[in-house]
Amino acid sequence: MSRIRVGIDAQLARGTPTGIGEYLAGLIAALRERDEFEIVALDAPGFDPWRFDRRVVWDQVMLPLAARRARLDLLHCAAGTLPLIAPVPIVATVHDIAWHRVQQHVRAYARAYFGRFALARYRRARRIVVDSNFSRDELLELGGIDPARVVAVFPGVSADFGAVERRPDAAPFALVVGTVERRKNLEIVIRALAGAPELRVIVAGPATPYREFCESIIRGTGASGRVEFRGYVSRGELLDLYARAAFVALPSRYEGFGYPAAQALCAGVPLLAAATSSLPEVVGDAAPLLSPDDVAAWAAAFRTLLDDRDAAEARAGTVRAAANSRFAWRSAAAAISREYARALVDD
């Protein structure tokens, strides 16, 4: 008897993948290790989806055709967008609903596609996986979705973060990982630098026009030369930055999960995170949580970490093993496999 074939939309792991690409790569590998379903990664190697029109072509034309050709039993749309018409039942992963909450500054057509259009598709999915209970509550608040069809499953963190060997630089720097966009709130870290004159900041992630705003704050606060924008970095460079950073800062106002926080905990890196959205759920009591608007609190937290770096390292080391267990891909894959089985019997 042939195994059930599950196709996973893996296109956003192409090009310069960010958090969703990390999710796709980890999930596909973990599901294949379980060997419970036949996992088919659906992608087009030469097609770059990182432009709006190409993303729509992939979602609405190329993905359904690939699903049909693959003779699937189930399609997992794991990148947050779904086709209008699909040849088989769908499981969806909804990473967050930022397009409904904090993306009002982007073009109207993008808000419509990733917001209202996507929500209508979610309502037709057999099962929905979200990255946190916060995201589950946010999605259900929009209405029209049966809560019994929505389950929160923490994504896993790749084992190479758990294997990072810490060697913090003598000249300390804070690491900020993620797209340089307004909801990530990089400005709070820049403003807090005044309280820690020995500290630098390295930002690893693609830029948006928000970077220009941050650069104006750098000039206005006298922090010129202390903030380095690296842009998208290779995997090896990212792991090296986690190994060398004095701490990771995640001041974001809105996160459906917050990969940099989970990665820092798994890598044994001291962490400072905002007390907003999913981050209290993800971080728990493993690291300090701060208001995203309180510059003085962030400056004081910088000072505390830098004044006793050994203590900060020791604290991060004590929570590391638990974090690697909590954010294990094998656990996430087991939970998502159960959702596949449920989707196949739902009607």
Q: Both 32 and 76 in a single domain?
A: yes
Confidence of residue 194 (pLDDT cuts 50, 70, 90): very high
**Domains in the chain, number:** 2
Give the per-residue pLDDT at 107. Answer: 83
% the chain with pLDDT above 90 = 88
Round the average pLDDT of the chain to a whole number and report it: 94
pLDDT tens column, 255-301: 999 999 999 999 999 999 999 999 999 999 999 999 999 999 999 99
> What angle do helix axes 259-267 and 235-244 make, rounded to 10 degrees?
60
Q: Both 199 and 276 in a single domain?
A: yes
Give the per-residue pLDDT at 97. Answer: 87
Q: Both 250 and 303 in a single domain?
A: yes
Q: Both 78 and 144 in a single domain?
A: yes
Q: Both 167 and 130 in a single domain?
A: no
Q: Both 83 and 150 in a single domain?
A: yes
Q: Which two tokens stand for residue 68?
A: 């049909």
Q: Both 122 and 204 in a single domain?
A: no
Mean pLDDT of 295-308: 97
Q: Both 333 and 318 in a single domain?
A: no
Q: Both 234 and 269 in a single domain?
A: yes
Give the per-residue pLDDT at 3. Answer: 86
Q: How many degrees, rounded to 5, is the angle at CA 124 between CA 119 and CA 129?
A: 70
CATH number at residue 297: 3.40.50.2000
pLDDT tens column, 2-54: 689 999 999 998 766 678 989 999 999 999 999 899 999 999 988 888 789 99
Confidence of residue 160 (pLDDT cuts 50, 70, 90): very high
Lowest mean pLDDT among 75-84, 112-121, 172-181: 112-121
Give the per-residue pLDDT at 347. Answer: 64
Q: Both 91 and 217 in a single domain?
A: no
pLDDT tens column, 141-158: 998 999 999 999 999 999
Q: Both 167 and 295 in a single domain?
A: yes
Give the per-residue pLDDT at 17. Answer: 66
pLDDT tens column, 204-263: 999 999 999 999 999 999 999 999 999 999 999 999 999 999 999 999 999 999 999 999
